[in-house]
Every structure is written in C-alpha cells, then in structure tokens.
Amino acid sequence: MLRFAPSPTGDMHIGNLRAAIFNYIIAKQTNQPFLIRIEDTDLARNIEGKDKEILSILNLFGLLWDKLVYQSHNFGYHQKIAEYLISKDYAFYCYCTKEFLDQKREEAKEQKKPFRYDESWATLHKDSNPKPVVRLKGAQETIQFLDEIKGEISFGPNEIDSFVILKEDGIPTYNFACAVDDMLYDISFIVRGEDHVSNTPRQILVRKYLDYTKDIGYAHLPIILGESGSKMSKRDNASSVNWLLEQGFLPQAIMNYLIAMGNKTPTEIFRLQDALEWFDIKNIAKSPVKFDIKKLRFINREHLKMLNESELALLLNTTDASVGGLAKLYLQEASTLNEIREKIDAIFAPKDIFALYEDQDFSESCQILYAGFQTLMQEHSLALREYESLKTELMARTGLKGKNFFKPLRILLTGTSHGLELHELYPFLQYFLQDIVRLKQ
C-alpha cells in the first residue's frame, strides 16, 4: 500500500501535493491501494476544516483514494504499543522537566557539541514531575536504508539518541505514530520531502524493536526553491495550492508541472494518465529545483488550448460556447483563467468612454459611434452579421475614419484601446451586441 499523510495544520503546500501525486502514481503502477492518512496528532495546531479542504484538493486533482483514516483514531493502539515496548525494555518513562532539558541543550550549544539525551537523566525529577513522557531507547548500531533518489543513507548510533514516543498527555509523537501506522496499514513504499530524511531512521528503529521485518522503500524529494533561490516558505504565494487555483491555473497543468520538475519526461505537456505509463521515481533529480511561475504559465496555456469551447465556457461559469470561443482566441495573450476572465469581463462591462485611452480622449467619437450602433441594432441591420459589413456601414453613417473610428470601435466592443484583431473577435461578439455595446453611467 502507498500512502499520503498530510497534517490539517495549514494550506496544502505544492511540495506536499507533489508527494501525493508521486505516491498515487506508484500505487497505480504497482496495482496497490492508495491510502490517505490525516496526521492529526498535533491537537494544538490542527485547524478545523483543513482536513476537508485537503481531501477536496486531492479530489480536484483526481488523486482518488482507496482508504481514508485519521491518525487520532489509533491513539489507543499507539499507547498499547508503547506499553509493550516498555515491557520489553525498549522504552522507558522519562521524568525530566522541560527546564532541565533546555538547560542541557544550552550547555551543549555553548560547548559547540550536538545535544544528546542521556538515559541516566530519566528519573532525576521523578519526585517533582508527576507526568513523565515515554522515550524509545536510542540505536545501538548503524541504521541504513536505500533512498531511490539519494542512494544509500546511514545514521550511526550516536546520531539517534533516546527520543520521545508518548508525550506527557499520552498523545503519540509524529515519528512514533507514523512508524506504527505504516506498519499497521502494511505500507510498502513512501515518497515524501527530504526534510523527513532524519525521521526515517527513528521510524525504522521503532519497527525494529517491534520485530517488524518488512522492508519499506523510500524516496525523499528534494526541496522546492522559491524564485529568490531560498527554500520556498508559506510566505511565497505560489507555495500554496489554493493560491495557484485562485489565480486560474488548471489542476492538470499544476500536476503536469510538478511531475516534470527536476524530472526526465518524454514530452513537455502531458496528463496524469500519460505519466502512469512512463513515470519512474529514480529519474527525479537529487538537487533542489526552483519554482518557475513562467514555466507554469506556459504549461497552463497549453492545457487551456487542449480544451474545446464548451469546456472552456464551463470553466468561465457559462454554458455558451461562443464565450468559450472568445476565450480560445484570448489564449494568444492570456495564460490563466483569471487573465481570460479579465478580458471577457471588460467586453461585457458598460464602457467608460470618458476615460483616457493611451492618454487620449475618444469620448466624442465613442458617442457618435455608439449612436450608430444603437440605430443598426434597432433596425436589425444585416450589416451586424459580419465585421467587414459592420465597419463599412458604421463608417458611412458616422463619417468617422482612421484612428477616430477604429479606437472608439475597439473601446465599445472590448473595453480597451488595443488587443486582438477585431475581425477575429467579431464572429463571437456579434451574438451579444446588446450586452456589449453599453455605456457606463
């Protein structure tokens, strides 16, 4: 079984989504179930409703799961496992106070040594601290594992000291709950961020003490860098999947980009179904990769081009294929749904003819042309059916020509003084002239 294990403590980061995508692909390639495990052990930081938001995003991206579990539902099981480890002398109660441990950390820092827990401290504060934690005994030998991206990784005994598995309130820590649940749900392979590399030996140690012999495979994904070159943080808007969706990027384009990031792909533009045929986690680069919004914009435009007029219209909240046709045209200069919406909203909004366009006042010509338009529409003139006949008729009736004709015409039809050729746009605009040729009051 493959799993994706998000925490409901904030917006989904693109790095987390990338891990979810890769776990899903491998599950499908190997014909194994795909599990979503909501890791809600951090009760203080859990945000109500974030679990539903995460599931909604996964559903939107087509990452459909076979099983959904909440880690908190296994708290009783985690506690029983901890008691078993204590009975086997692989774990013990630690009564150290927070103040004492903070002092020891500070001493290690002053001596420029890494902090290491000393098991002789465990009972020093037994009389004054009624709420001990439970610690797992540190490693006695080197722990090694093969990372499909990074290669062989090893941690010596001195790097894995005794660590907390149950907090003073009986809640399991991340590493303990994760290790036990990966065992409980028979997880075979784990793709996650490289910030988890140091957690892996601790989780392996938990399962070793429990005599769990199944070998779990690992692939730790390099971090995603922001445009500044530093690690992408939550302060970077583009790190949030929600933000990207709100900007008008398509789920299939975001997915395309995240799969292609630091990867060898046979084609630049593809769908999730295509990636199932050729994806190989071993092809992911070891080094960090920089997030490139321009590249995502290009990929998004290509995916928008793949949609037909009716599909595009639905994404723009209408069933009119003519609006979808307009949207297809605007892909010459727009890359996201939001940019297309801006163009189309400007077309259907009442026109502000008294605004300056390119620092010029076209209001007088606009008024003359508007009157001409109204007359033609009232007459149901056949000239309205084609751009060339419209242009000829309006010129004849208004006496306007050159810049004083074409700029006002563009303003009345599109709300801007420059853009795509009117003869391209007009076949779609002609159906909505009553809604388009309106003046702002």
Strand order in the sheet with 91-94: 91-94, 133-136, 163-166
Was 28 annotated as part of a binding site? no
3-state DSSP assignment of residue 16: helix
Burial degree of 181 (CB within 10 A; 0-12, 13-18, 19+): buried
**Please, how many CA atoms are within 13 Å of residue 344, restricted to the half-sphere of its CB?**
26
Q: Would strands 224-225 and 289-290 be described as parallel, antiparallel, or unpaired?
A: parallel
DSSP string, 415-439: SSSS-S-HHHHHHHHGGGHHHHS-B
Going from the C-alpha of 9 to that of each of 49, 51, 198, 416, the distances in angstroms are 10, 9, 21, 44
Burial degree of 313 (CB within 10 A; 0-12, 13-18, 19+): buried
Which one-letter DSSP state was computed for residue 194? G
69 contact partners, CB below 8 Å, separation of at least 6:
35, 36, 37, 38, 181, 185
Which one-letter DSSP state was computed for residue 38? E
Going from the C-alpha of 70 to that of each of 8, 76, 255, 337, 374, the distances in angstroms are 10, 13, 25, 35, 63
Residue in the structure block whose two tokens are 């990636």:
275
Residue in the structure block whose two tokens are 């620092």:
359
Residue 321 Cα to chain centre, angstroms? 30
Strand extents, DSSP E, 336-419: 356-357, 360-361
Annotated binding site: 234
Annotated binding site for ATP: 234
